[in-house]
Chain A
Amino acid sequence: KAGVTQTPRYLIKTRGQQVTLSCSPISGHRSVSWYQQTPGQGLQFLFEYFSETQRNKGNFPGRFSGRQFSNSRSEMNVSTLELGDSALYLCASRTDRPTDTQYFGPGTRLTVL
């Protein structure tokens, strides 16, 4: 089986712009979660989508949003980018429940100038 894929791998934007990141889960996985990783902050949970519905949400401002399509692919969008949004954005997929094994993609490295 192919693993979790994320595109693009690297992205450079300027403050005020918006960005869309894409994640394709492992075939058969219906749950997709997004995380922000910054040095010293570990893995910060953004949100989880399951069957096209947001099932869980972390403590991030409304500038961060996401969606999931019928084929389980997911996108996350960040509007009005700030310097502090520079981070590695990780997507992870699993079949269904939180007690199912979660597999991560390689991440998208976002740099905001």
Chain B
Amino acid sequence: GENVEQHPSTLSVQEGDSAVIKCTYSDSASNYFPWYKQELGKGPQLIIDIRSNVGEKKDQRIAVTLNKTAKHFSLHITETQPEDSAVYFCAACGGFKTIFGAGTRLFVKA
């Protein structure tokens, strides 16, 4: 069946460095790709999303890129801060399906 692979499962970076999380999807019908951040004890919060007619989108320190041919999309966080520490989920949406990646636990060391 359709799935979304997310890597890495854990990522540790020094404050100020960049962090990159990658996802690969299998369903060709997917055309909307949101990213969520989940802090301890809270529900996932949407941080950025991209649609299939766009290759890149940026919002301050966060950017997402999409390669529809390769079925890859990635989250880039620049100038990381300790408050960026959380679990990040990617998702691929299309038709009536939303499929989530397994999550990446990001640690930003001060």
* Chain A interfacial positions (CB closer than 8 Å to B): 4, 33, 42-43, 45, 48, 55-56, 90, 92, 98-99, 101-107
Contacts and interface: CB of A to CB of B under 8 A. Distances in A.
Given A42-B100, A104-B36, A99 B93 contact: yes
B51 interface: yes
Given A98-B96, A99-B93, 11 more contacts: A4-B43, A42-B89, A43-B89, A43-B100, A48-B96, A99-B51, A101-B46, A102-B34, A102-B98, A104-B45, A107-B42
Contacts, number: 50
| Majority secondary structure of chain B interface residues (helix, strand, loop or mixed) | strand
A53 to B, nearest CB: 12
Contact of A55 (B36, B46, B96, B100): B96
Contacts of A4: 43
A103 B95 contact: no
Interface residues of B, number: 23
B93 A107 contact: no
B101 A107 contact: no
B22 to A, nearest CB: 16
27 contacts: A4-B43, A42-B100, A42-B101, A42-B102, A43-B44, A45-B98, A45-B100, A48-B96, A56-B97, A98-B32, A98-B94, A98-B95, A98-B97, A98-B98, A99-B31, A99-B51, A99-B94, A101-B34, A101-B46, A102-B46, A102-B93, A102-B98, A103-B46, A104-B44, A104-B45, A106-B43, A107-B43
